[in-house]
Copies of this chain bind each other. A is one copy, B any other.
C-alpha cells in the first residue's frame, strides 16, 4: 500500500549531523525521515524556501529537459529500503502516452517532485522498516534516550512547517 506524503522540512539529525528530509503523511500522522547528502538537502531546501538562482541548478536542468521533451512527472514513489538504503522511482509520461518508472535516489526524486508538482507516495512497508531501523540503531540507548533523540528532531520543526508545502 502506498501512502501519500509531502515534504515537511529539511533539517539536520542532531546525532549524526547529517541532513534529513522529513516526509509527513498528508491524511495522517505517519512520518518518514530520510538521511540525504548535503547537496541534495540544498536542492530540496532551496525549492521549499522558494530561493531562485540566476542559473539552472541540476534539478532545474532535469525539469527543463522534461519540459523540452514534453514529458510529465506523474508521481514519485519511495518504494524500498534495503541495507540502510532508500530506493525511489520517478514515474514519467511522454506526450504519446508511454509510461516509464526510473530508478532514483529519494533525494533526487523529491527534489524533482517539488519542481514539477508531482505527488509523493511512500510504500507503507518502507515506513515500518524505517521505524525498525531507527529502533535498531538506537539499541544501545535506553528508552528515554531514544525518546529524547526523536523529541529533539521533531522539536526542531516549527508547527507551521507541517503541511506547509502541501501540493
Residues of A within 8 A of B (CB): 39-40, 54-59, 61-62, 64-66, 68-69, 71, 85, 87, 90, 92, 94, 100, 102-105, 108
Contacts and interface: CB of A to CB of B under 8 A. Distances in A.
B55 A69 contact: no
A69 B55 CA distance: 25
29 contacts: A39-B39, A40-B58, A54-B85, A55-B87, A55-B105, A56-B103, A56-B105, A57-B105, A58-B58, A58-B59, A58-B62, A58-B108, A61-B90, A61-B104, A61-B105, A61-B108, A62-B65, A64-B102, A64-B103, A65-B65, A65-B66, A65-B92, A65-B102, A68-B92, A68-B100, A68-B102, A69-B69, A69-B71, A69-B100
Given A58-B62, A68-B100, 11 more contacts: A39-B39, A54-B85, A55-B85, A56-B105, A56-B108, A58-B59, A58-B108, A61-B90, A65-B66, A65-B102, A69-B71
The complex is assembled from copies of this chain, and their number is: 2
A102 B61 CA distance: 8
A56 B71 CA distance: 21
A38 B105 CA distance: 20
Contacts of A102: 61, 64-65, 68
